[in-house]
Each structure stands twice: as structure tokens, then as C-alpha cells.
Structure 1
Amino acid sequence: MVQQQLSDIDIAQSTELLPIQTIAQQLNLKADQYECYGRHKAKVSIDVLKDLQHQKPGHIVLVTSINPTASGEGKSTLTVGLGQALNKIGKNAVIALREPSLGPVMGMKGGAAGGGYSQILPMEDINLHFTGDLHAITSAHNLLAALIDNHIHQGNSLHIDPQRIVWKRVLDLNDRALRQMVIGLGGPANGTPREDGFDITVASEIMAILCLAMDLEDLKARLSRIVIAYSDNKEPITVKDLGAEGALTVLLKDAIHPNLVQTIEHTPAFVHGGPFANIAHGCSSLVATMMAAKLADYCVTEAGFGADLGAEKFLDIKMRTGDLKPSAVVIVATVRALKMHGGVAKSDLQKENLEALQQGVANLKKHMETISHYGLPYVIAINRFTTDTEAELAFLIDWCKANGARAELANVWEEGGQGGIALAEAVVAAIDQESNAFQPLYALHDSIEEKINQIVKKVYGGGRIEFSATAKKQLQAIAAHGWEHLPICIAKTQYSLSDDPTKVGRPEGFTIHIRELVPRIGAGFIVVMTGSILTMPGLPKQPATLNIGLNADGQVEGLF
């Protein structure tokens, strides 16, 4: 078909977009409730939530997936396609997605605005600078870093121990050379020499704070609680101690307002916030999700990577913070990815292999069990690829039914919302017919060790956890400072249920190795670093950057 010969960006650039005012009118937004950023983007005032405080929220549908593979699962594409499909069957649906980071856009993953005929537009803007939210977060984060070093240089009245500064700098690009560095060289005029480094912007605590703050007042309060360093006597020093929360809030005053765009089929979509799920909590902003749920009967949102990462954090952190209850979960799976979990190399995926598929479904089974632990109804979305054989698809559908799961084929890349109608009907049926006994996995009063154990055993299927000597000391410090009541955010490889990316499928009885615990008091959780996970990615041998450029008409090419 001709559609299959077009790239995502070709499809996007051939779509006639509606003025953003028309999309806002679909949501019954008044002219003074949003600000246009050009013709096809807008910032919707966070104050809309106050205006809708007595409005009952619609159904929140979370889209997650199996553990990702190099073959791609199409989770964002399915999210967009499902939102479009719900509108096609007469339901009022709005989509809520994360903002792409320039790191993966210019690195290995490419664009992150969906694909084919299930995209959010304008995809070039969304994948690049968009409305400047990530730049604002980068600026606020690095201003704080500069203030810390300046405070030390100007006399250090807070007695900050330069060896115990925990606030790195950030950049929204992949740059492995910046992971570890020495700053302040060149004499007294250039500051105090010390070790430092860069994280990627989406790993910044300020990103997490922006995505969990309920309003500007909450944003400022959370910023003030950020622990930036420890004193000579090992007491935590915060942004409030430094007096910087006001300036940081000013830099973020526009970024906190959700961004409104549209899909190819003109379904409204909020795209706001972008923490990674392997190193952060992996969800779009809480205010965007709440706004979408208040303005529609169905809010379709997604969380990064598999259910072991994004979904767990969505359910244990985001929903708890917003005091929200999701209605259903969609677990995206593909024949291709399941064959890779069954041991097939990427180069051999086009060959029919029922034996590998039978092995690989163990990964899907684990994620089904995970969502069941939360008491939520779920639907399996089989994202169809042209290389899937009828025998493979029949096997997967029969397997899902034999395991008591609703499952539907979806072809939203090629057909848009039309290709997701069966899935949309299954989701509505699951919400209407199945019980929903949602509850988070652990209680906040549980110890840090118990919270980690619950996730490792119930979500990952692991056997035990092992703390490094450093992590054991940090556990004691967390207890001493009264931070044990916080939820946890585990940083782990996305490719495996374990902390070893080579262990695909469904490994069992493994050990999760915890090397560090990082209190993120402003965000309101403790980050648990496992395995060899990195907070500043590097570029691959052939980065996507090399395919991107402008044509003679000034249009972007090669973005995805």
C-alpha cells in the first residue's frame, strides 16, 4: 500500500492541521484559558484545574508494554491510535503524552510523537524545541548548580562540604564525555576545584517536580525542599537554605502549563513533561493527566518502557500523588518483540518462528501478573506488523484467551483510529464489565527495604536484593533524616525484568544489585540506582542525528 511507503514525517507533513483555537474549542476552553504558541500549539493555564475542581474526572487509561526490544513495540503510536479510536466509536477522549527529549531524538531512538497515521502534530516541533519546557528545566537546574558553587566561592556560610554536593549539572543531549569531570580549575578566580558531572535533563529532579506539582505554589514548595548537598557535619542543605526557590520558580512559570496539540485525526492531546522511566518516574505531568481527565470522558496516557518501570511508577507514585484511580491498563505487545524475548536475533525476525514466540510470551505473562497485583482490568493490544504471519498472530491471540486476557489486534500505524476500533471497544468493555480494586503495591509506612522487596518480587519476579556498602550507609542516613515514608523510584535497565539487560524473556530468582540511594525530597521519592544504569546516555555509532536535515523548501527531513 502507498501508506506503507511513506515515512512518519512524510505523513505528518502532508496532514492539514486545524488551528489550535479549534482544538481548544473542542475542549470547551475559553480564549483566556490558553495562550497560543504559533498556529498549532498552545499552553493551557494550570488554573483550568481550579475552574474544574468540582468536575468528576473521566476514565484514566494507562498504556504500557512488555519489556522493549530493538524491534520496537509502538507504545506511543498505540496510545495515539487508541485515543483516536475511542473518538471514532463515539467516546470523548483526550490523549496525554510525555515531551520527547533531544537525547534520544538525536541519538538512537529517533522521534517520539507516535508514528504513521497515529501521530501527534506538529511532530517536528514536538520532537525538537516545542514550547521550550525542557530548556526552562535545564536553565533552572543549572542556575541552581551555579548558585551552589558561587556560594562556596563567596565564603560558604552554609558550610557546604564540596565533597558532598549531590546536585550535578544537566544537558538535554546524550554526551558520555560529560558524565564525570573536574570543574573550578584555573586558580581561585574560577571557583573551588571539585569533581562534578552532567545528567541528561529528563533525569533532573526539577523535571520530576514539574511533573508532580499541582500548581505554582506546590512547585515552589517542592523546589525549596530539594537537597543539594550536605554540610561539614553531614546535615542536608536545601534550596530553601540557599534562598533560590523564588528564582527557580520564575524560570518555570510558563513551563508548568500543559501544552495542547492535536493528532493526525484532530484528537486533542496534552504533551507535557518528559522524565525517562528507566532513570526517573517516566510519566507525563500530573496536571496534564488531571486536565485531560476533567475535560473528557476518557484520558489515554502512557508511561515509559515496560510495566516493570513506567507502569509501576505511574501507579505507585503518580496516581498516589494525585489521589487518582486509573480505570484500566493496556499492555502493548508485538509478535516481533516476543520472538526476541524468545531468543531470536533482530535479523531473523521476518521468519515465522512459533517456538520462539511460545518462549517469549513468558515476558508478556509477567506483565499481566504485575497489573493484576494492582487490581486493575487490562487489555492486551497486539500491535500488528507487516512481517507477522497469520499463524503467529493466531497463536498469540489464542494464548491470551487461554490465559484469561482480553486481546485485540491493532493496526493504528497504517489505519489510524480505524485500526484501533476493536481495541477501543475492548477497553470500554473492560472498564464497564470488570472489577477495579486498584491499590498501590506498597504502603508508605513500609520501610525502604520492604518497598524495594515488594517491587523486586511482585513486579520483576526477582529473588532477592543486594545493597552495596554505600547503599547500606545511605539507608541509615535516610532513616535518620526521616525520609523513610517516601515512595521509591527504581532506576533499572528497560530491556530486562532484572538489572542485567542481556537477560531477556522472563528470568527468575535473580538478584537486584542496589549501588546507591538518592533522596529526591522535592520530587517526593527516593531514587534507587541498580546495576549499571546511567543517568547520562551516550550516542550510538550511527546516531539518528546523521539522517536529519532540511530540504530545499526548508522542511525537516529524516527526523523519523
Structure 2
Amino acid sequence: MKVVPSDLEIVQAHKMTPIGEIAAKMGLTEDDFDYYGKYKAKISLDVIEKFKDRPNAKLIDVTAITPTPLGEGKTVTTISLTQGLGHIGKKVICTLRQPSLGPVFGIKGGAAGGGYAQVVPMEDLNIHFTGDIHAIETANNLLAAMIDTSILLDNPLNIDPMSIMWRRVFDLNDRALRDIVIGLGGKENGYPRQTGFDIAVASEVMAILALTTSLQDMRERFARIIFGFTYDGKPVTAEQIKAAGSMTVIMKEAIKPNLVQTLEGQPCIMHAGPFANIAHGQNSVLADMIALKCADYVVTESGFGADMGMQKFMDIKCRQSGLRPNCVVVTSTVRSLKMHGGVGNIVAGKPLPKELTEENLPALEKGAANMMHMIKIAKGYGIPVVVSINRFITDTDNEINLLKDKAKEAGAFGVGVNTAWGDGGVGCAEVAELVVKACEEPTDFQFLYPDSFTIKEKIETMAKKIYNADGVSYDPLAEKKIAQFEELGLGNLPINMAKTHLSISHDPGMKNVPSGYIFPIRDIRASVGAGFLYPLAGAMRTMPGLGRAPSAIKVDIDKDGKIVGLF
């Protein structure tokens, strides 16, 4: 059995290519990017105009089945497909989200892939990188400070403190900050009110960074942010409080996409990092716009399953940007689908249950319904679907063959086995060849719902077609907000559902393909600058917490100054 070193050992033993050489593969000169050290760079937005007459590359979106708490290797699929396309001689770029420090020091880990399918410099991009998330925190919290100061100092905009929706953000998991009271200690410290913190990647500033198309567009989006209402019910914006300009200045460097590389030397543009369960889960439109002019294939990734990030990719990112994918890749694993078939209880931080490492065809056949539902969702957008089975050493040939049959039964264009975690790009060559063929197939792209649907019609379409629910229930707060947003003319905005990623439903305990239930909406919020509404389904947290044994306890510096314990 091949022994694969830890992710950190692999990248620390790897000799990276200077970033200038990676940029040259894209056709960039040194006038087109700024160095951030020897192995990182920021790409100028002028490149979009410079290469505007080049044809667009084929765009591939990587998604997944409903994952276990351990994750099923979707980022590994994205990076390995990039390496696999490179292995078969294609000019390719991958576009990824930047990791948040919340998962890095929490449970899930970073977003640089794993094994021999990674993006480097892994340590840098998982910790601070080029400072983009710090800029997001600062821009977000500047607006928060200006709101509270305006209320304290005569409240010239007549803001109702009880209506403020804008929360401060922080890029770590810290449950103690979810609900707090500010302004204590006397009048000079502010107006006392209850508020809280979200994790930074859930900020509307992050969503705007991921969806903007230029610096001026970002300025206009910041201006549209509605942070609260006046005492007589009128919305108050960041432009009215005169914060939009300063927020844009803070984000002036962060708006430039970041360039790094895979272990096999393909360019990777890593930019923006909104979560897919509480935000829309995509890398930046700008990263894709640049990549599509600098390669023949672009591999991007949507967060979590097809019911989460991929649906948001199609109905939010593609709707706003005009991007259209040529192929969808659904990441699947035997162990996860056996879990959906009722075998084993996977708990992050604990060893994999023994029953998930043993052949169990009945459980796998039952759980394969989850994969088949994800294929159905993807095909509903009129795009060909390829399934990548990320193979573990305990998977049997019988199990792999069963999944192949089920994927084809659900209408997949092709099914390939991916062993890139241990083998690198060559281990994803089969999937890469299928993707090339799928990208030549005709597409009939269509959104899940039209803009003209009411807010409730959009939510109910999603609940029935994506979440397999019988209907939707609304708490009184959600009913009130929906009526308010319709009255404000926001009903034309797309829906960004905030829900668990561990189930197609709102309840993480409901595995496989739940049915015969009602999908509950407890609240709905407006991200007018980002250009969507986001309902909250179930007990959705916008600030995660740490577990008993977070990843942070393993991370350290050795006597030689090298990082240890980081994956």
C-alpha cells in the first residue's frame, strides 16, 4: 500500500515555480501583476480589457453530493481535475475560494486540497495570504462603527437602533460573540443595544467582493447596502451615512485576484471566500473573468453539494455575471453514500467507523439516491454532468461499479475514478478526458426560476425542486420581512438560502434524500449590495463555534521556525 505523507509534509518538500513563470503561462507580463513575495501575486484588473478579444475558455463547475462532516474531497477534485487536464496536455487554470481562518483553526481545515492535489504555498494561503479577509473585516466594521456613531451623535438620519441589521465580523470561530450588548459604560461609549458578530466570510462585503466586476461596480454595490431603517420605516444605506467611498478605498487592493499554483505548476487564481451554507459559496467573478481569457479550460468550485453552492453558482453568480458553464462535475465517495444509506456515524475528529470501511452494497445502493438527486439538480440547468468518484483504499471494485451504474442511470454523461490524492494529476486523467468530451456537448442553460417570481414563489420552487420538500412554512418574522422587501421593490432579487450543508433539507440529521416534510423559513435578510435575499432555514448560525479539540491545538512552530500541525 502506498504511504502518502501529510499535506504539510508534501508541500514543504515541494519546489515551487516562481510566480512570474506561472503568470507567463497565462500570457501575463510583469505589467499585469504585482508580486506578493516570490510565489504569490495580485493580478491587475486591466487584464480584462487587455484580453477582451480573446475567446472564452470552457468553464467547468465542480460540486458534490451531500458531504459527511469530514468533507469528501471536492477541492481535491477541483485541483486534481486541473492537474489532470494539464497531464493530458490542456491549457488550464483553476479558480478557488480563499480559506477562512475559522475552519483552518476549527474542524474542517483549509481549502488548498490534499495529498498530491494541492495548491501552494499552502501555509501562506491558509493563514493571512495577501490580507484580503483583513480588508473585508475592516471595511465591514468601519460601516458598523459609523452607524453607531451616527446614532449616538444626534442621529441625523433618524435611524431606529432596533432595526439595525449590520453586524460586526471576525474571521475566527467564536460563539461567545454571537449575541452581545454594545455601548455599555456610559454615554461616551455609544448607544447600548443588542447585536452580535458574524464570521468575516459571511459579511456582505465578502459577497460583494465575490460578485463585483470592477472597482466602480464595487463602489456602487457598497452604496446600495441597506443596514437598517428609520423610525418611520424607510431604508437607510451605506451611501446615506457616507461610508461607501471609504469602504471601497479599503478594498482597493483586495479586489485584485490572487495568483498561486498547483503542485504540478498550473495557475490557480484564488480570490474571495464566501461560505456556501450562510453565503453564496463562490470564488470571485473577476477571477473567472480573467481565467476565461487566459486558458482553454477553467475549473471552478462551488461550496458543498449541488443543492448548496452549485445552485447558488447557477442562480446567483451566473445570473449576475453572464457566466455560463459547459460542464458540471459531481464529486462522490463510497463512504459518504454508505452513510446516507444508514451505515456508520461519522463524527469530525474521531476515527472513521469500521462499518464504512467494509463492503456493503445494499447500504451503498440506498445511499446512492443522494448522488442521483444531485445529478438531477445539475441536469435541470441544461448542463452535462460528469461524476468523479474519489476512491479510498477501502473501496471495493463492486462498490465502484455499483456507483458507476447508478450515476449513468441518473443521466450522467460519464463517470470516472479519481485517485489524485495519492497519485496527483495522472490519477484524475480519466475524469479529465470525460470532462473534455462533455464540454463539447450542447448545453441548454436555464435558471431555476425567473426574476419575475415573487419571493415566496422563488423559495417554494427551491424547496420542492432542490430540497425535495412538500412545501414551506414561514415564521411571523419571515412573513413580515417578505412583505417589507416586496414593498421596497426587492422581490426581483435571487434567493441565497442559508441552511445546513449536511443535508438536502434544513435539518442536518435528515440524510440521503429527505421527503414528505415542510421546509421552514424563520427569517429573511437583504444583501442589496450583493444583489440577493437570504432566508434562514432552521437553526442556521452565521458565527460558528470551536469544538473540544479544534485544529488550533495542533498548530505550532518548531525549533527551525517551520509550521507544524497544519493539516
Q: TM-score normalized by structure 1?
A: 0.98
For structure 1, the 5+ residue unaligned runs are none
Aligned to 2:439: 431
1:102 aligned onto 2:109: no
In the TM superposition, what is the alpha-carbon distance from 1:238 to its structure 2 partner? 0.1
- Decide which of 382, 392, 396 is 1:389's aligned counterpart: 396
Q: Give the whole-Å Cα distance in 2 for the aligned partners of 1:314 and 1:403.
A: 22
Q: Give the whole-Å Cα distance in 2 for the aligned partners of 1:459 and 1:2.
A: 40
Preserved contact between residue 228 and residue 237 of structure 1 (Cα < 8 Å): yes
Aligned to 1:372: 379
Q: Percent identity?
A: 47
Aligned to 1:70: 69
Q: Give the whole-Å Cα distance in 2 for the aligned partners of 1:332 and 1:2.
A: 23
Q: Give the whole-Å Cα distance in 2 for the aligned partners of 1:2 and 1:366.
A: 34
**1:475-529 superposed Cα distances (whole Å, 9 cap, x missing partner):** 1101111111111100010011110100001111221100111011000000111
In the TM superposition, what is the alpha-carbon distance from 1:2 to its structure 2 partner? 5.1
In the TM superposition, what is the alpha-carbon distance from 1:404 to its structure 2 partner? 3.6
1:455 aligned onto 2:462: yes
**1:317-367 superposed Cα distances (whole Å, 9 cap, x missing partner):** 101111111100000000011011111113121121111101100100110
Q: Give the whole-Å Cα distance in 1 for the aligned partners of 2:30 and 2:357.
A: 51
Q: Give the whole-Å Cα distance in 2 for the aligned partners of 1:394 and 1:475.
A: 47
SS of equivalent to 1:488 = coil
Preserved contact between residue 57 and residue 297 of structure 2 (Cα < 8 Å): yes
Q: Give the whole-Å Cα distance in 1 for the aligned partners of 2:466 and 2:295.
A: 31
SS of equivalent to 1:261 = strand
Residue identity opposite 2:337 in structure 1: L
Q: Give the whole-Å Cα distance in 1 for the aligned partners of 2:64 and 2:447.
A: 19
Q: Give the whole-Å Cα distance in 2 for the aligned partners of 1:152 and 1:360.
A: 54
**1:233-291 superposed Cα distances (whole Å, 9 cap, x missing partner):** 01100001001111000100000000000010011000000000000000000000111
Aligned to 2:449: 442
Residue identity opposite 1:448 in structure 2: I
Preserved contact between residue 61 and residue 299 of structure 2 (Cα < 8 Å): yes
Aligned to 1:125: 124
In the TM superposition, what is the alpha-carbon distance from 1:55 to its structure 2 partner? 2.0
Aligned to 2:350: none
For structure 2, the 5+ residue unaligned runs are 347-352
1:177 aligned onto 2:176: yes
1:483 aligned onto 2:482: no
Q: Give the whole-Å Cα distance in 2 for the aligned partners of 1:271 and 1:326.
A: 19
Preserved contact between residue 308 and residue 459 of structure 1 (Cα < 8 Å): yes
SS of equivalent to 1:349 = helix
Paired residues for 1:26-41 under 5 Å: 26-41=25-40
Preserved contact between residue 456 and residue 464 of structure 1 (Cα < 8 Å): yes
SS of equivalent to 1:357 = helix
Paired residues for 1:227-306 under 5 Å: 227-306=226-305
Q: Give the whole-Å Cα distance in 2 for the aligned partners of 1:404 and 1:460.
A: 19
Q: Give the whole-Å Cα distance in 2 for the aligned partners of 1:522 and 1:214.
A: 13
Aligned to 1:419: 427
Q: Give the whole-Å Cα distance in 2 for the aligned partners of 1:103 and 1:541.
A: 15
Q: Give the whole-Å Cα distance in 2 for the aligned partners of 1:219 and 1:72.
A: 33
- Decide which of 356, 368, 381 is 2:363's aligned counterpart: 356
Q: Give the whole-Å Cα distance in 1 for the aligned partners of 2:455 and 2:406.
A: 37
SS of equivalent to 2:34 = strand
Q: Give the whole-Å Cα distance in 2 for the aligned partners of 1:273 and 1:184.
A: 32
Aligned to 1:550: 557
Aligned to 1:409: 417
Q: Give the whole-Å Cα distance in 2 for the aligned partners of 1:3 and 1:26.
A: 33
In the TM superposition, what is the alpha-carbon distance from 1:70 to its structure 2 partner? 2.7
SS of equivalent to 2:227 = strand
Aligned to 2:210: 211
- Decide which of 512, 521, 535 is 1:505's aligned counterpart: 512
SS of equivalent to 1:163 = helix
SS of equivalent to 1:280 = coil
Q: Give the whole-Å Cα distance in 2 for the aligned partners of 1:98 and 1:305.
A: 12
Residue identity opposite 1:324 in structure 2: L
Aligned to 1:522: 529
Q: Give the whole-Å Cα distance in 1 for the aligned partners of 2:161 and 2:461.
A: 36
In the TM superposition, what is the alpha-carbon distance from 1:54 to its structure 2 partner? 2.3
In the TM superposition, what is the alpha-carbon distance from 1:3 to its structure 2 partner? 4.2
Preserved contact between residue 71 and residue 337 of structure 1 (Cα < 8 Å): no
Q: Give the whole-Å Cα distance in 2 for the aligned partners of 1:14 and 1:483.
A: 52
Q: Give the whole-Å Cα distance in 2 for the aligned partners of 1:400 and 1:165.
A: 47
In the TM superposition, what is the alpha-carbon distance from 1:71 to its structure 2 partner? 4.2
Aligned-residue Cα RMSD (Å) equals 0.9
Aligned to 2:140: 141
Residue identity opposite 1:70 in structure 2: P
Q: TM-score normalized by structure 2?
A: 0.97
Q: Give the whole-Å Cα distance in 2 for the aligned partners of 1:404 and 1:468.
A: 38
In the TM superposition, what is the alpha-carbon distance from 1:390 to its structure 2 partner? 2.0
Preserved contact between residue 69 and residue 502 of structure 2 (Cα < 8 Å): no
Aligned to 1:15: 14
